[in-house]
Structure 1
Amino acid sequence: MTVHTSTRLSDGRELIYFDASEATARRRLAGPSDRRGLPDRPASGTVRYDPLTGEWIAVAAHRQTRTHLPAADQCPLCPSSPSHLSEIPATDYEVAVFENRFPSFGPELGLLPADPVWGTTAPAYGRCEVVAFDSAHEGSFGSLSPERARTVVDAWAQRTGALSAMEGIRQVFCFENRGADIGVTLLHPHGQIYAYPFIPPRSAVMAEQAAAYFEASEGRRTLVGAVLDAERSSGERMVLEGRHFSAYVPFAARWPLEVHLVPHRQVADLAELRDEERDDLTGVYLELLARVDGLYSTPTPYIAAWHQAPLDARFRPASRLHLQLTSPRRAADKLKFLAGSEAAMGAFINDTVPEQVAAQLRAAVPATARKG
């Protein structure tokens, strides 16, 4: 069972270690503290209301100064050493989660105005956290050992539950950006968690679709569950099937490479997964990522986005947890860029055929197997 222990960095931000044993966790608390003497945290940024879309836009100019592709000996996610004090004071760690020093949302918590109009501005309430998957400087989730990956899954679940209980939070989003082509600014294997004070636009659309289907269907079926059943029945786009999770390329994939990883049981978020489901998720997800990297001779850039149910009561029973993994890579040496139709109109035009992509993933030799 994963043990988590909380401490504070020198500017007051929370740091949480996740360890596979109680003994290791005790050593964490007895270890060194943050000696950097950082200045006090600034106030939250702002959000502005767009009346044309009904969306909130975050303004976070302070993020312009965030760390960008530092040298390995200056990495803020590596363990601290006598010559470099990082964001993680420990000399070694398994998984660490801490409040982002350059957050898009937070550190203040609160409620946004209920009836915004043109010109409405409010603090960017919420919280942004960094999840350091491992103490090693290079890699990604797919390069983790099964044991370490399972600890990350537990960290996602624990943080989802804790953030969901905070004032004003309406959606918790766990994700990993992988590769410079995605815009990654740190090479150290890590992900992030955003706790939003509003339901983001795409989540809002999906939640409304899910709620409408749930309320109209016989037996209160979930839409994601119905799609999973249809994909498993068809089989054309299936990639992997485990005991508790299955992965498929969606029928209406937007991106050249897109895979959905879905639990067989209805759960609203990661925090609701049972131990045996987390075990299966770990194995299936690692194999999926190995197949994604097995498509080409170089690592594939991707965004791995966990869609969790918004915290509004109407959406919780209708929305099923699922992972959406997308990559702009449309060939070994080509990337898809969002042009006029996608960027301006939100109307996606896919360059690949979902059935063919699924077949390629099924046939892919995982990169790890090629190396052996």
Structure 2
Amino acid sequence: MTLVRSAVNLSDGRELIYFDERPDSGRTKYQDTRELPPPPPASQLRYDPLVDEWVAVAAHRQTRTFLPPSDACPLCPTNANFASEIPAPDYDVVVFENQFPSFSYREVPGGEITELTDMVPVRPGLGRCEVVCFTSDHNSSFGALPPSRVRTVVDALADRTAEMSELPGVSQVFPFENRGVEIGVTLHHPHGQIYAYPTVPPRTAAMLRAARKHAEKTGGRNLYADVLAAEQAAKVRVIAANEHWTAYVPAAARWPFEVQLAPHRQVADLPALTDEERDAFGPLYLDVLHRFDGLFGKPMPYISAWHQAVVGEGRDLGYLHLQLFSIRRAADKLKYLAGSESAMGAFVSDVVPEKAAQMLRDAA
């Protein structure tokens, strides 16, 4: 299948890209008829010297759309009664710049400020945030997509990763999906997001430190490749696998139910996947999602996060993989990040990873 990629601009200047599974869809002839205010200014990054991390301050996100009724969903196609973010009356997969971005290249507020104290420098939150709509069906879910549509999504994410990685100042491109009100979604329509970060996020920085240490100790071996090989050999935490991918519960899983899906070949990011690897991902991922929903007989809230290599220094240490996890620890209980996790970043797991793996295998 050859995707047809076509771009338009919304009435406030933001870019929208259709990824069509058939030619001549004619979607670009539909124009955004709304009168929108200009996009908000870029956020502000403030440095926290106590932990050597940058924190984004994006006050404009306080006004973002919050759980609207289905007939006013901004991610549904436009119809005669409601003009949404997508001007066309239907679509396959669509990507557009977030109206309430955490990072952007818009005007920077208070650009003259360079520091709050001599310990806290400030810089613009330059980058890009996009929304990815997986289907025009408001009542669907990622797990209900056919494998062919998953392939379309993967191709769209690869396209956006390649383009966003070329933007000035971008350190890492992060595609992800939040599902469920328990996770904190503000829109029910099946969708994900892509962040082009202006700094290396804390988890990635920690993974790079560990990968670099392992490479130095082992004469250049890749840490994630060795972890994956060890899990494949142990088998006890492997959920499912095919010719190109393995899905397993990490031995030190932080979340009650956590699975990582990794290609058998070390690649830096989604654009580096072959056609065969892209085709093989969908059936395995859908299988894992169905197992998540089957655990307690109801839709599982989850976060699905693509970990890709950084754009600059340390890129050779990266190993593309998808992290899927849920905060649900039992049918009627959630895992709250309380004192130890929230204040100290020290996780205490409620479910033994081997038990979680067995439960997921049994939930086929």
TM value normalised by structure 2? 0.95
Tell me the amino acid that sits aligned with residue 320 of structure 1.
Y
Tell me the amino acid that sits aligned with residue 31 of structure 2.
S
User: Is contact 1:211–1:319 with CA below 8 Å preserved after alignment?
Assistant: no
Tell me the amino acid that sits aligned with residue 355 of structure 1.
E
Q: Choose 251-260 or 33-42, whichever is displaced more.
A: 33-42
Distance 2:245 2:118 in 1: 43
- Secondary structure at 1:268's aligned position in 2? coil
For the structure 1 residues 233 and 187, does the alpha-carbon distance in structure 2 shift closer, same or farther, using more than 3 Å as the test?
A: same
Name 1:344's counterpart in structure 2.
343
- Secondary structure at 1:246's aligned position in 2? strand
Distance 2:105 2:13 in 1: 10
CA RMSD in angstroms, aligned pairs only? 1.6
Name 1:247's counterpart in structure 2.
247
Name 2:270's counterpart in structure 1.
270
Percent identity between the two aligned chains: 56
User: Is contact 1:174–1:194 with CA below 8 Å preserved after alignment?
Assistant: yes
Name 1:354's counterpart in structure 2.
353
Name 2:325's counterpart in structure 1.
326
Name 2:211's counterpart in structure 1.
210
Tell me the amino acid that sits aligned with residue 286 of structure 1.
L
Tell me the amino acid that sits aligned with residue 335 of structure 2.
K
| 1:177-188 superposed matches below 5 A | 177-188=178-189
Structure 1 residue 215 displacement after superposition: 3.6
Tell me the amino acid that sits aligned with residue 298 of structure 1.
K
Q: Choose 177-186 or 288-297, whichever is displaced more.
A: 288-297
Distance 1:108 1:196 in 2: 15
Name 1:34's counterpart in structure 2.
32
User: Is contact 1:109–1:167 with CA below 8 Å preserved after alignment?
Assistant: no
Name 2:193's counterpart in structure 1.
192
User: Is contact 2:178–2:192 with CA below 8 Å preserved after alignment?
Assistant: yes
Name 1:135's counterpart in structure 2.
136
Distance 1:328 1:174 in 2: 19
Name 2:300's counterpart in structure 1.
300
- Deviation readout 1:243-282 (Å, 9 max, x if unpaired): 1110000000001111111110010111111111000011
Name 1:68's counterpart in structure 2.
66
- Secondary structure at 1:182's aligned position in 2? coil
User: Is contact 1:108–1:126 with CA below 8 Å preserved after alignment?
Assistant: no
Structure 1 residue 109 displacement after superposition: 9.4
For the structure 1 residues 135 and 251, does the alpha-carbon distance in structure 2 shift closer, same or farther, using more than 3 Å as the test?
A: same
TM value normalised by structure 1? 0.93
Distance 1:339 1:294 in 2: 27
Name 2:111's counterpart in structure 1.
none
Name 1:368's counterpart in structure 2.
none
Distance 2:32 2:58 in 1: 26
Name 1:171's counterpart in structure 2.
172
Distance 1:356 1:309 in 2: 31
Name 2:230's counterpart in structure 1.
230
For the structure 1 residues 117 and 134, does the alpha-carbon distance in structure 2 shift closer, same or farther, using more than 3 Å as the test?
A: farther
The runs of at least 4 aligned residues of structure 1 exceeding 3 Å deviation read 107-110
Number of corresponding residues: 357
Structure 2 alignment gaps of length 5 or more: 109-113
1:57 to 55, 58, 71: 55
Structure 1 residue 82 displacement after superposition: 1.6
Tell me the amino acid that sits aligned with residue 216 of structure 1.
K
Distance 1:343 1:139 in 2: 33
User: Is contact 2:43–2:124 with CA below 8 Å preserved after alignment?
Assistant: yes
Distance 1:72 1:93 in 2: 17
Distance 2:268 2:11 in 1: 35
- Secondary structure at 1:300's aligned position in 2? coil
Structure 1 residue 214 displacement after superposition: 2.5
Structure 1 alignment gaps of length 5 or more: 366-372
Structure 1 residue 117 displacement after superposition: 5.4
